[in-house]
Chain A
């Protein structure tokens, strides 16, 4: 069974461009979580999605950031007009339901804004 797949592994964007990060959860998992890890820090919760619905986006910046998890296809974390402070590793995790632990993590996407 394939685990959580994130791509790209590394993404370089210039200030002002858009970044799109993709996450394909474990097959059969309908719950997806996005976390951000700044250098030398822990993972900070961003958003929790269940197929086609945003359950909790309390960790998402109010502007420029959005996430979706469509009925078909991967979950997408989109960052518009990136700034240098967006440079971080972004991790996706999935689970079959909210009672199931532990989360299965992808290997992350490292975003570098130049």
Chain B
């Protein structure tokens, strides 16, 4: 079974600054994907970024980037130039392609302060 751990229940950052959210996972699988989802107060689940396990290059989407350390089973999310609209709960998720299902961490509540 896979587990996903987000060790930071809450974080805050000043607008325009950079923040890093941590995520570690445990699996014996080789073929998997990792995701970060954002859940604003509207409760909608919004995909932020995706990383294929077989790719060594870290994924980047505009102000969002990841630090994927496969050997350490670490998948942190860096948000640069934080904006007020980034305030949300962020979930790290592991997708097992063999089982066809995702396992989510318990989330990190991020508050961006003006």
Contact of A89 (CB < 8 Å), options: B6, B43, B97: B43
The A interface is mostly helix, strand or loop, or mixed, namely strand
Contact B100–A31 (Cβ < 8 Å):
yes
Q: How far is the CA of A45 from the CA of B103 in the complex (A)?
A: 7
Task: Considering the complex, give the chain A residue whose CB is closest to the CB of B44.
Answer: A107
The answer to the question of A73 belonging to the interface, with a C-beta cut-off of 8 Å to chain B, is no
The B interface is mostly helix, strand or loop, or mixed, namely strand
The answer to the question of B101 belonging to the interface, with a C-beta cut-off of 8 Å to chain A, is yes
Task: Considering the complex, give the chain A residue whose CB is closest to the CB of B50.
Answer: A102
| Chain B residues in 8 Å Cβ range of A101 | 33, 35, 50, 95, 97
Task: Considering the complex, give the chain A residue whose CB is closest to the CB of B98.
Answer: A98
The answer to the question of A44 belonging to the interface, with a C-beta cut-off of 8 Å to chain B, is yes
The answer to the question of B16 belonging to the interface, with a C-beta cut-off of 8 Å to chain A, is no
The answer to the question of B11 belonging to the interface, with a C-beta cut-off of 8 Å to chain A, is no
Known contacts being A42-B91, A43-B91, A102-B50, is A33 close to B101, with CB within 8 Å?
yes
Q: How far is the CA of A55 from the CA of B100 in the complex (A)?
A: 9
Contact B106–A42 (Cβ < 8 Å):
yes
List B residues at the A interface (Cβ < 8 Å).
Answer: 4, 6, 33, 35, 37, 42-45, 47, 50, 91, 93, 95, 97, 99-107
Question: 19 A-B residue contacts at CB 8 Å?
Answer: A41-B107, A42-B105, A43-B45, A43-B91, A48-B100, A56-B100, A56-B101, A89-B43, A98-B100, A99-B97, A101-B35, A101-B50, A101-B97, A102-B95, A105-B37, A105-B44, A107-B43, A108-B44, A108-B45
